[in-house]
Structure 1
Amino acid sequence: MTKKIIFRADGNSSTGLGHLYRLFSLVEIVKNEIEFIFLTQETSTDSIIPDDYEKKVIPRKITIVKEAEWIASNFSSDNYIIIADGYQFNSNYQKQIKQKHFRLIYIDDLANEHMYADVVINHSPYINSKDYSKENYTKLALGTKYALLRPLFLEETKQTRVINHLDKAFVCFGGADPFNLSLKAVQAMVPMNEFIELHVVLGGAYRHKEIFTLESKYPDKIKTYSNLSEAELIQVMRTCNFAIAPASTILYELSCVKMPILSGYFVDNQELIYKGFKDSEAIYQGKSMRDYDVSDFTSQIEKILNDRRFNDKIRSQRALFDEKITTRHLKIIKETALTIGILCSGGLGLDTLSKISVDYKIQFILTDSKSISIIEFAKKNSIPVFAGNPRNGKGYDFIKDFNTDIIASINYLFLIDEDIIEHAKLLTFNIHGSLLPKYRGRTPHVWAIINGEEKAGITAHIIDKGCDTGKIIEQIEVPINFENTGADILEKYAEAYYPLVKKVLTSTLSNRLEFKIQNEKDASYFGKRTPADGEIDWNLTKEDIRNWVRAQANPYPGAFTFNNNRKIIIDKVSFYNAIEISNYSNGEIIKAQPFVVVKTKNGALKLDNIRTEKCTFVKGNVLGNENRK
């Protein structure tokens, strides 16, 4: 079972459709990555919900007071998170949802309730954290860097635009337009010779008739639209070089396309957005439009026509948005949807850990006591950390109170007990440095080079009771080139580890995990290596010795031999085309100046890089352990 999202919003001609449309923007961001269901009340205008959304209706008889109980009886908090947009989802509602153990993201406008949600998103440019009363665990995502925009509008933010005159106007006042401000704005512009086209977008809940009469009277000047797709709406906006709209989602969208905008507010939730855009100097100030008549629009538009600082507004609009909005929203949702614990050690563990932390919230870290950089990372980022051997219940005692979905093990030094393996609700997996089932065990990339393999790789696999024996999730091949050392392969692994981890996490969220049982007939196991294991056997072939040396080259402890009772560490050797060497013993120095050449089973090797300094080599000496005294 994987994590899914419940998107929760209502809307109709009486309450307006803004909460539905705003939540659609988040759906569009995640729909190809995470499974979801759109949940709405029976009283909503559900015809505007896109056909490709899976939808479920809450019966009319279920009141807001009873809704948390109804949701809990129909959806498991282990499998779903909730993203809600609407004023009815107040403090009491949020508290009830949290008591049912759901994780909750709340889309807010007003900042007038105590927040119990895990995350609160408010994209008003005016709001700040001091405006909120909240629980200590509640995170705030505030400002236009969290703007709720559909994908094509996010693309529009990247475009530049220059406007020097106004002649084509865009008008939109939302789903219901209860004060018929669309009509009044159009009536103001019809007699103005400056405007040759008036494009009026009407919401799905719009019920007034006069605008259509006016359109039939001025068919060459007025054109009305309804039920536009995202792409169609952008196309209409691009046609225009001036707009009149309230401080709601449509204002954000117009600011992405960029043009001079007369904006104001007519309901409470628009006022904070209006103040933010006003302070940013991104709009012409219409203030409260609730009581506007035609003359008010006429006066405001005439001022704008005479102002002509259109491109100053456009520059201010452009500054409100950046290219990372989608990434931020995905990060918030993924962090809320998945709780992750990390087991890791060493530089590779730290590198991958730091990359995971950018996209996901990490609940805890288990590491070894010598991985100081990981311990420091945890403390710096306020992540609970356990450093030491986790076995015999020590690690489990540390993590048992965390409600964890996934545990990922990355270059971790220890095998873990079943209590830790079984703690994660969804998945406990490891990234192993080989193409399993080959090279189970320790330092597999070193063994792969020693054995002359032309490719290595990494495997994401389920952790079970055995050592690297669990079902395979994903694999990435990594080529071993002729000159590659063990350290070189580890650098390649560092580039591949996080993409593999991310793929597993993304597949978990989207319910696309596939598992493959390891074929035991193909399995091989290699044990832990120590520095003492690095001694060179000169009775091996030159190919085998070359692989032995490069596998353990600096910064690893290194392959070594003995010369006159002195340990010599060698980091690089190459094939040497020697003539008439059959009379020499394996390990014998057949050339000492200007470089050292040593006899092997089937040829000779030149010692290219000797780590040990100030070595003296004499032709005829035999390298090896037998020379130790």
Structure 2
Amino acid sequence: MKILYIGCVESSYLLLEKLIEAGADIVGVITKKESNYNSDFRDLVPLCEKKEIPYELVENINEEKVYKFIENIQPEIAFCFGWSQLIKDDIIQKIPQGIIGFHPAALPKNRGRHPIIWALVLGLQETASTFFMIDASADTGDIVSQKIVKISYEDDAATLYQKIMTIACEQVVELWEQLQNGTANKIKQDVIEGNSWRKRSKKDGEIDWRMSGRSIYNLVRGLTKPYVGAHFVHQGKEIKVWKVCEIDTDKYENIEPGKILDIYENGDIDIKTGDNVIRLIEYESVELKCGEYL
């Protein structure tokens, strides 16, 4: 089975590497040399050159040279893992068995943008690794493989990503084998049942100390590295926060949100929230005073 592979981020690299190791016939790769908006961009070119796989560098997946590349390599199926642009139907129709995409969420739930971030920020207890047939819309095609991924309280963006990719790398080989022997099943999505997450804004990452401690904890762990980080504003400056913990206490019930309660020798800072206390553990350097309000 001749495969066209499309991708340009860390997950793209990991899944491509796994397919190559399994012996998949990758006849061509479409990727980017660089990206200004993918925080987890990964250059696939060195891997392609090492394995002598033809590749095409593009900025837009719907460029004319993509059509020509497909005509030259004549793939039977395509895998598109980690590409944020929608693929036009004209390109989809050029691939005899269609294009399979990857979405780290439990489709038909949670289509759309930033699925790992939103799952953590919303405090979900599980997500999924889902492979599906790409159509002209976003994340709405038939599901061909889905495995549930549990989210623990301790998980953050990095650990949840690793959990998902560990499962996805084994899952993609199983799917490739099923596609080859004709045993892959397609499950039609219920578009009415599903929802779609929006693109997050900068404001979504700002800590408001009137929020509950759990909401602040979830926001920080969802936006921590490799993402942009949650932040609060102090004297007109944004201060990035990478790690916090919840302190459940009723000691400060009569204290207003945003007050700095304690500053410890190791740099940890306790701040009153809407319902309890959040301890800052990893954050950008900032001069704060005990008793000050944020």
| Shared fold per TM-score greater than 0.5 | yes
1:545 and 2:216 matched:
yes
User: Partner of 1:470 in structure 2?
Assistant: 141
Task: For residue 441 of structure 1, report the CA deviation from its aligned partner.
Answer: 1.1
CA 1:513–1:549 in 2, change beyond 3 Å: closer, same or farther? same
Amino acid corresponding to residue 410 of structure 1 in structure 2: F
Structure 1 residues 366-402: Cα deviation after superposition (integer angstroms, max 9, x where no partner): 1233245212222332222222211243422322222
> 2:108 — aligned with what?
437
Which residue in 2 is equivalent to 1:607?
Answer: 280
Structure 1 position 341 matched with structure 2 position 11: no
1:531/1:558 contact within 8 Å kept: no
Matched, 1:362 2:26: yes
State whether residues 343 and 365 of structure 1, in contact with CA within 8 Å, keep that contact through their aligned partners in structure 2: yes
2:50 aligned with 1:380: yes
Instruction: Report the TM-score when normalising by structure 2.
Output: 0.89
CA distance in 2 between counterparts of 1:446 and 1:372 reads 19
C-alpha distance in structure 1 between counterparts of 2:56 and 2:272, whole Å: 50
AA aligned to 1:361 is D
- Larger Cα-atom Rg: 1
Gaps of 5+ in 1: 1-337, 624-629
Distance 1:351 1:539, change over 3 A: same
Letter aligned with residue 440 of structure 1: R
Say whether the 8 Å CA contact 2:33–2:43 is kept in structure 1. Answer: no
| Residues 199-234 of structure 1, C-alpha deviations (whole Å, 9 max, x = no match) | xxxxxxxxxxxxxxxxxxxxxxxxxxxxxxxxxxxx
Partner in structure 2 of residue 414 of structure 1: 85
- In structure 2, the residue corresponding to 1:400 is in which secondary structure? helix
Amino acid at match of 2:275: N
- 2:37 aligns to what? none
- Counterparts of residues 433-582 of structure 1 (less than 5 Å): 433-529=104-200, 533-582=204-253
AA aligned to 1:378 is C
In structure 2, stretches of 5+ residues that fail to align are 35-40
Q: Is the 8 A contact 1:450 1:544 kept in 2?
A: yes
Secondary structure at 2:252 match in 1 = coil
Q: 1:530 deviation in Å? A: 5.9
**How far has the Cα of 1:579 moved from its partner?**
4.2
Please give the per-residue CA displacement for 1:408-450, whole angstroms capped at 9, x wherever unaligned.
1112232211122122212311111111011111220111111
Conserved 8 A contact 2:149-2:163 = yes
Q: Distance in 1 between matches of 2:43 and 2:142?
A: 31
Contact between 1:584 and 1:590, CA under 8 Å: does it hold in 2? no
C-alpha deviations, 1:11-66, integer Å up to 9, x for none? xxxxxxxxxxxxxxxxxxxxxxxxxxxxxxxxxxxxxxxxxxxxxxxxxxxxxxxx
Taking structure 1 as reference, are residues 544 and 364 closer, same or farther at Cα in structure 2, changes over 3 Å only?
same
Counterpart CA distance in 1 for 2:29 and 2:199 is 24
Amino acid at match of 1:484: D
- Kindly indicate whether the alpha-carbon contact (under 8 Å) linking 1:345 and 1:411 is maintained by their aligned counterparts in 2: yes
Aligned position for 1:352: 15
RMSD: 1.9
**2:32–2:43: 8 Å Cα contact kept in structure 1?**
no
Q: Distance in 1 between matches of 2:160 and 2:9?
A: 15
Correspondence for 2:66: 395
Task: Indicate conservation of the 8 Å contact 2:10/2:42, yes or no.
Answer: no
Rounded to whole Å, the distance in 1 between the matches of 2:91 and 2:172 is 19
Q: Is the 8 A contact 1:422 1:428 kept in 2?
A: no
Q: How many pairs align?
A: 284
Could you tell me which amino acid in structure 1 is paired with residue 10 of structure 2?
G
